[in-house]
Chain A
Amino acid sequence: MTEREKFLKIARFELKGELFLPSCWQWFWNGTLERWRGEGLPGDVHIREYFGFDRMDYFPIDLSSTVPSIPPFDIKTLEEDATHKVIIDGDGVKKKIFKEQRESSMDQWIEYPVRDRKTWQKYKKRLNPHSPARYPLWWEKEKGRYKERDYPLGILVGGFFGWMRNWIGIENLSYLLVDDIALIKEIEEYTEYFIVETIKPVLKEIQFDFALFWEDMAYNKGSLVSMEFVKKYMVPHYKRVTDLLHSNGIDVITLDSDGNVWELIPFWLECGINGIIPNEVAAGMDVVAMRKRFGKNLIIGGGIDKRALSKGKKEVEEEVMKKVPSLLKDGGYFPGIDHSVPPDAPLENYLYYLKLIREIGS
């Protein structure tokens, strides 16, 4: 059985008790890897290969957490002190960032490129789905290698909240809901057009195994926006994208959102989105309870509490044993730490976590 077959069989609940560790669904802070190198992790390895992850990949059109502005904005440094810089990044966002170890914190987003109708019209010009630069270099010649593969290949399909929030900011977005709702509708419509037009050509050429939306639209209390907003302004657009994916033979349609997404899941399921990652425990997600509630309608990824890794082997074992055996035996589960592995996790504990899930999976 190839990795591709194994991934699909697990995702479709046809293969039970087997482990597939998706290489694209586990992230590590740079600080964690630095620490681990001091604890024996070789510095000259591909870490996902070293840890024995199973190969999976995304087709290289970047419709993930950011959608590249083409052409990009000129990156500028506006202010600088000993530890921080204020910059305009390639997507036109004014941010305060750390000069070193930037990934150890989220940036402070100060000003967004879209503030009103005028700035949206200007920004939209950089979101042309037909820009040749959205596709990989030598695409026509390269596409053959994606057709002949034995690993799962996914397509990124953006999102209808996360991108808009990144363009406008949550505060201005909130005000626009009252001040100019027509603009929000227009942005959502254009986003759908942009996603569909960008992915259409490649869907014709390549049979994908899964798709991934990116939203990050929740925090520890729940969704950032109301279910009324989701129903009215997001659901119709999701449906048109998932219809396109279904008509191209893609039945594993996943979504990445941090935070507590419990109340959002029924809406996503209604739209044909049938997999959720990374299911953060600290935000209130519980993968065992999710399986109980949504059964085989929902593929689950992640869900192992990152905080257990810093505590000790006993806590790692408790966390793994209360979740992984029951979920693996049904299929439809891809174990993983519930977001990036943090720097307070010793390598020894992470290796112990991998050993445990491999023992269960074998």
Chain B
Amino acid sequence: MEQYIIDLLTTGAIVLFGTIGLALFGIFFGLLYKGVDRKLSAHMQGRIGPPIRQPFRDVSKLFVKENIIPENAIPWIFNLAPLAGLIATISILLYIPIGGFEPLLSSKGDLILILYLLIIPSLAMVTGGFSSGSPYATVGAQREMVTMIAYEFPLAIIIIAIAWKLSINLQNTNVFALSTITATPIWNFVGPLGFLGCLVLLFVLVVVTPAELSKIPFDSPEAETELAGGLLAEYSGRNLAMFYLTDGVKTVVMASIIVALFFPFNIWRMIGLDALPAISLEAIPIYTAEIIFFLIKVLLVILFSLTLIRVSVARLKIDQIVYTYWVPLTLLALVGLICIMWDGWTMEGHIINIFGFKIQWSAWPSMFKLLGIP
């Protein structure tokens, strides 16, 4: 029983301090990355752009502004929606590996839970939009719902493909646990065909990310030029600030998920250590390097999946968004899945009969071994 009480207290402490710490981390770095994104995109378009600290100023300015509730709105839903979005987004941070370390609640929730939690911020925006009582916001909310339906399908294929591949190679292990996925990078288990499949899935995930975050070219739910902000048209003051913070934190969440699924490499593994050393004064440089390495990876993911895409492509119409996700991207994701599936067969040493020629592909080693990476 003593052990149980100790476990209970440990979980309680992790939940309490983890939530506080990661909420502050997510909000700070969410706003910081937002600033970097704006600065980089401005330079790409030949502008000077706002200073990197501009998002912090935006939030502080919004806090001073009036928090207007339209007369047509349903006040309690209108006020609750921004809170619900930010709360759900913060809760995801506890289930994903932040700073290159194991998730704080790695044994309390898996990748499927994260997929469900990712829906809540979008649903909060939809609810807030519908409760605004504005035609612009209602159209925006309708578009957000349709966008959600569109990108969930290819996203699910990506998750299934990775989990399936890991389940072939790791027996009796929960392959949906992010601690498993990060401890055993998928690149270690794939041959050339699987490597190609993983690249295709990574590309699809990179294209899904702007839609998850309602960014150009998939920002038709907000569409400032035609819908005057869409589902956020009636929001102002501290309620709008909450959505602004949600956007920042969700950016960190999405980038961290991509890092966890496809780039879970650690400094301590690269320098040849068997495990992350216990917390001590000597281990501080490794921990610091690990966190900096993680932040750089997140920045690079944001650069390629958000900044580069939004400065180079125009906004798509809502029916074009659905077509993009349901036809080319779903087909691409299925091609990636098939590549990984066939690679799984080849890596297992199955004999494949092609036009009468029986070929055993078991000689194909992992792509990493082919490239000479240990």
Q: Note whether A and B form a binding pair.
A: no
